[in-house]
Amino acid sequence: MSELALLSQATKPKDIIFALQEECQLSRNDIASALDILPSHVRSCLYGTTLAPVARVCLQDLKDLCLLLSQVLEKYHIARWLNDINPDLGRRTALELIATGETKKLKRAINKLIRESK
């Protein structure tokens, strides 16, 4: 539905974070919530500080899920979907599930959206 050119090409954590902020309108707090880190650590990462391995996995998951969501949502709706409490996700937000490593449940929900949109 919408193309996330920066995000699809980003490989370094700082580039992924920048793309998530620019293209998906995710705030520093949104990203920190998904990575289960402080917002100041997200900011530091933009300036070259490395992320802990667990946070890197969560960041990659967030990137992958945003790219999946872009198949059914306009990019300016992605942040809202990730932040909204979702009955299909056990009345939790997608960002909470990313932080707890429950991305399989998220991928199922997004794939369901993709199938229903066709």
- pLDDT tens sequence across 10-36: 999 999 999 999 999 999 999 999 999
Per residue in 63-104, pLDDT tens? 999 999 999 999 899 999 999 999 989 999 999 999 999 999
In the numeric block, which tokens belong to residue 31? 């990203």
Number of domains in the chain: 1
SS3 content of the chain, % helix, strand, coil (to 5): 70, 0, 30
Q: What is the pTM of this model?
A: 0.93
Whole-Å CA distances, 68 to 5, 48, 80, 89: 13, 27, 15, 16
Residue 96: give the domain boundaries: 5-117
